[in-house]
């Protein structure tokens, strides 16, 4: 029995000095790898958040275009809503908003369903997104489609070749003839 106890003691006892400095060496070797992994996780998270903002901008652009009264208003409201959505989410870019189905959607007859598709492209600088000072940019893309109400008028402003003018009845009271306060 004494032999077994001596063997266990001999196995567990190490000579002093063999492990000195290993912890510091392991820290020096693993610290850059751990910091790189943490930085990569932060960069991936920030890129995912920026992509979500571009997705929201495309969704807003398609929705605003689909509820606009005519083609021109749809194009303007799609662009302005995409810019506003990106600014609200803190994304610094100049978005390109494409509406490839807008003309055909507004040209479709009443009663026929139509879709408005918005494509938003946003080039984000990597220095804003990942690490300050990092050169280059990343182009984020998003596409969203919104239905156009099949039973509403389309391009009403363009469909009328004439203006409706109603006769205006004069009351005879003007700012000159009635010197009181006018709103």
Cα 122 from Cα 127, distance rounded (Å): 15
- Domain-embedded: residue 17: no
- How far is it, in rounded angstroms, from Cα 74 to Cα 158? 13
In a domain, 171, yes or no: no
CA–CA separation, 39 and 20 (whole Å): 31
Report yes or no on whether pTM surpasses 0.85. Answer: no
- Could you write out the three-class secondary structure of the chain? CHHHHHHHHHHHCCCCCCCCCHHHHHHHHHHHHHHHHHHHHHHHHHHHHHHHHHHHHHHHHHHHHHHCCCHHHHHHHHHHHHHHHHHHCCCCCCCEEECCCHHHHHHCCCCCCEEEEEEEEEEEEHHHHCCCCCCCEEEEEEEEEEEECCCCCCCHHHHCCCCCCCCCCCCCCCCCCCCCCCC
Q: Is residue 182 part of a domain?
A: no
Residue 19: inside a domain, yes or no?
A: no
Report residue 170 as tokens: 């004069």
Q: Is 161 inside a domain boundary?
A: no
Domain assignment of residue 174, yes or no: no
180 part of a folded domain:
no
**Residue-wise pLDDT tens for the chain (183 aa)?**
566 666 666 565 555 556 666 777 788 888 899 988 998 888 888 889 999 999 999 999 999 999 998 889 999 999 999 999 999 999 988 999 999 999 999 888 888 889 999 999 999 988 887 777 788 889 999 999 999 888 877 765 444 443 433 344 444 444 444 444 544
Check residue 166 and give its pLDDT. 38
pLDDT, position 63:
95
Alpha-carbon distance of 117 to 146, in angstroms, equals 6
Indicate the Cα dihedral angle 60, 64, 65, 70, nearest 10°: -170
Q: What is the pLDDT of residue 5?
A: 62
pLDDT tens by residue, 51-60: 999 999 999 9
Radius of gyration of the chain (CA): 34
- Please provide residue 137's backbone torsions phi and psi, each rounded to the nearest 5 degrees: -145, 165
What's the structural domain count of the chain?
1
Range of the domain at 51: 27-152
| Predicted local confidence at residue 18, as pLDDT | 64
Residue 18: inside a domain, yes or no?
A: no
């Amino acid at each position: 029995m004494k032999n077994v106890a001596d063997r266990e003691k001999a196995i567990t006892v190490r000579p002093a000095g063999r492990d000195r400095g290993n912890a510091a060496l392991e820290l020096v070797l693993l610290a850059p790898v751990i910091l790189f992994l943490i930085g990569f996780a932060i960069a991936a998270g920030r890129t995912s958040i920026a992509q979500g903002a571009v997705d929201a901008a495309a969704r807003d652009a398609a929705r605003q275009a689909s509820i606009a009264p005519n083609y021109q208003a749809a194009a303007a409201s799609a662009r302005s809503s995409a810019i506003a959505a990106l600014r609200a989410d803190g994304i610094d870019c100049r978005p390109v908003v494409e509406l490839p189905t807008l003309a055909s959607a507004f040209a479709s007859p009443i009663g026929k369903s139509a879709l408005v598709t918005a494509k938003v492209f946003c080039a984000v600088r990597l220095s804003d997104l990942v690490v300050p000072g990092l050169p280059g940019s990343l182009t984020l893309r998003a596409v969203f489609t919104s239905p156009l109400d099949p039973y509403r008028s389309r391009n009403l402003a363009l469909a009328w070749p004439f203006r409706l003018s109603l006769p205006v009845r004069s009351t005879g009271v003007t700012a000159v003839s009635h010197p009181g306060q006018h709103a």
